Amino acid sequence: MIKGVISILCTPFDRSETVDFASLRHLVRWQLERGVSGVAALGIFGEVAKLTDRERDEVVAQVVDTVAGRVPVVVGTGHLSTRVACEQSRRAKALGADGVMVIPSRNCGPWPLLVEYYRRVADAAGCPVIVQDEPTTSGVILGADTLCRLAEEVEPVVAVKLEEAPTVPKVTAILERRPQLAVLGGNGGVFFLEELERGAVGTMTGFAFPEALVAVWQAFTAGERERARDLFERMVPMARYENQAGIALSLRKEILRLRGAIVDGRVRSPAPALDAVTLQEVGTQVERMVRKLDEMVPAGGDTTRPT
């Protein structure tokens, strides 16, 4: 289940900031058409902290229904409260999730609290658990040894999504101790190739050009390492641009809008708006990347808008 390019879905909103479920379903189909290995709902990119419980359930239900078993569906269920994280994990599994991605609670600093948190969440979920190592959001530093110990102590922990920089040496540190643990990259795919070269089995990211990541993954796993590097180097400028701190979410949603994946690129408030110059700049960047896609993958320039 845990390998390849797993796209993290945004949550589309309309002009009134209501969840646009028609656009969400189109986004899922759009991702599948681009060859992703799986999709992840309710991640940080999915603005999960800004959704009501009812919206969360409906998003998961719509994603699972649209995927219809074609690829695995992972759902983010981490929470400040262990009890709430357990309940959200149970709900995700009941709604059809194949696995859960769990960011640690900010209160999970000491080891006993950390292992208790993940053990209880894993028991509640009853499905594979991916640990999201993202200290910027969680405030919890998870070293390589800690992540390996956690996988040893909590059997359902089958994978780790690394987002603590630098991720590349951390892949090696984990796999030297626990080679059976699946390691995934993130951070917009900026170090995707280097992570693969160190032994990562894929990436989980909201990068708005998933077919570029898929092309790199396919070339790398086919043993075409030079082609994989060439493809990767073509996508890096866009990944770097899109991954700007503070406005990355707004940039990605606007890019997805320009590419026809969603109808509206707005972020649920409060959120910083993109200024007029940046909006023009985004359009230019997308045009450049689409031209690159025409050389990288078949039909890369598809910008059909959702209906």
User: Does pLDDT of 305 surpass 50?
Assistant: no
d(CA 68, CA 47): 23
Mean per-residue pLDDT, 239-256: 96
Secondary structure (3-state) at 121: helix
User: Does pLDDT of 300 surpass 70?
Assistant: no
The CATH homologous superfamily of the domain defined by 4-296: Aldolase class I (3.20.20.70)
Supply the pLDDT for residue 297.
82
Supply the pLDDT for residue 105.
95
pLDDT tens figures, 263-292: 999 999 999 899 999 999 999 999 999 999
d(CA 106, CA 13): 28
pLDDT tens figures, 189-217: 999 999 999 999 999 999 999 999 999 99
d(CA 246, CA 240): 13
Spell out the domain ranges in the chain: 4-296
User: Does pLDDT of 306 surpass 70?
Assistant: no
Band the pLDDT of 1: cuts 50, 70, 90.
low
Helices (H), the chain: 21-33, 53-67, 82-94, 111-125, 135-138, 144-153, 167-177, 192-197, 210-221, 225-242, 248-258, 276-296
